[in-house]
Structure 1
Amino acid sequence: MIHLQNVSKTYHSKSGNVDAVKDVNLDIDKGEIFGIIGYSGAGKSSLIRLLNGLELPTEGIVEVAGNRINEVSNAKLRKARQEISMIFQHFNLLWSRTVRQNIMFPLEIAGVPTSKRRERANELIKLVGLEGKENAYPSQLSGGQKQRVGIARALANDPKVLLCDEATSALDPQTTDSILELLADINKRLGLTIVLITHEMHVIRKICHRVAVMENGRIVEEGEVLRVFRQPKEEMTKRFVKQLAEPEEAKETIEHVLERVKEGQVVRLSFIGDSAEQPLITEIIRSFNVDVNILQGKISQTQEGAFGTLFIHINGEETEVEKAIAYIQSKQVEIEVMTHV
Structure 2
Amino acid sequence: MITLSKLAKTFQTKDGNVTAVDHVDLTIDKGEIFGIIGYSGAGKSTLIRLLNMLETPSSGEVTIADKNMNQLSKKELRQARQEMGMIFQHFNLLWSRTVADNIAFPLEVKGMPKAEQKKRVDELIKLVGLEGRGGSYPSQLSGGQKQRVGIARALANDPKVLLCDEATSALDPKTTDSILDLLVDINQKLNLTIVLITHEMHVIQKICHQVAVMENGLIVEQGPVLDVFKQPKENMTKEFVKQVTEPEETEEAIRHLFEKDGIGQILQLTFVGGDAKKPLMTDIVRKFDVSISILQGKISQTRNGPYGSLFVSINGERELIDEVIAFIREQQVEVEVVHGE
Verify same fold: TM over 0.5. Answer: yes
Cα displacement string for residues 91-123 of structure 1 (whole angstroms, at most 9, x for unaligned residues): 001111111111111101100011111110110
Cα displacement string for residues 32-55 of structure 1 (whole angstroms, at most 9, x for unaligned residues): 000001111000001001001101
Give the equivalent residue in structure 1 for 2:167.
167
Give the equivalent residue in structure 2 for 1:275.
275
Matches within 5 A, 1:49-128: 49-128=49-128
1:46 aligns with 2:46: yes
CA offset at residue 12 of structure 1? 1.1
1:129 aligns with 2:133: no
Cα displacement string for residues 64-85 of structure 1 (whole angstroms, at most 9, x for unaligned residues): 2232222211111111100011
CA offset at residue 247 of structure 1? 2.9
Give the equivalent residue in structure 2 for 1:36.
36
CA offset at residue 242 of structure 1? 1.5
Contact map agreement 2:201 2:240 (CA 8 A) in 1: yes
User: Structure 1-normalised TM-score?
Assistant: 0.98
User: Structure 2-normalised TM-score?
Assistant: 0.98
Percent of paired sites with the same residue: 65
Aligned-partner residue type, residue 102 of structure 2:
N
CA offset at residue 305 of structure 1? 1.1
Aligned-partner residue type, residue 32 of structure 2:
E
1:209 aligns with 2:209: yes
Q: Distance in 1 between matches of 2:276 and 2:89?
A: 34
Q: Distance in 2 between matches of 1:134 and 1:260?
A: 62
Structure 2's unaligned 5+ residue stretches are none
CA offset at residue 323 of structure 1? 2.4
Q: Distance in 2 between matches of 1:175 and 1:257?
A: 37
Identify which range, 242-251 or 302-311, moves more after superposition: 242-251
Aligned-partner residue type, residue 330 of structure 1:
E
Instruction: Compute the RMSD of aligned alpha carbons.
Output: 1.1
CA offset at residue 262 of structure 1? 3.4
Give the equivalent residue in structure 2 for 1:187.
187
CA offset at residue 24 of structure 1? 0.5
Cα displacement string for residues 272-295 of structure 1 (whole angstroms, at most 9, x for unaligned residues): 111111111122122222222111
Kindly report structure 1 stretches of 4+ aligned residues shifted beyond 3 Å.
none
Q: Distance in 2 between matches of 1:261 and 1:132?
A: 64
Aligned-partner residue type, residue 133 of structure 2:
K
Q: For this pair of structures, how many residues does the alignment match?
A: 341
Q: Distance in 2 between matches of 1:332 and 1:176?
A: 33
Secondary structure of the 1:311 match is strand
Aligned-partner residue type, residue 192 of structure 2:
L
Secondary structure of the 2:321 match is helix
Contact map agreement 1:220 1:234 (CA 8 A) in 2: yes
Identify which range, 317-326 or 194-203, moves more after superposition: 317-326
Structure 1's unaligned 5+ residue stretches are none
Contact map agreement 2:42 2:216 (CA 8 A) in 1: yes
CA offset at residue 263 of structure 1? 4.6
Secondary structure of the 2:236 match is helix
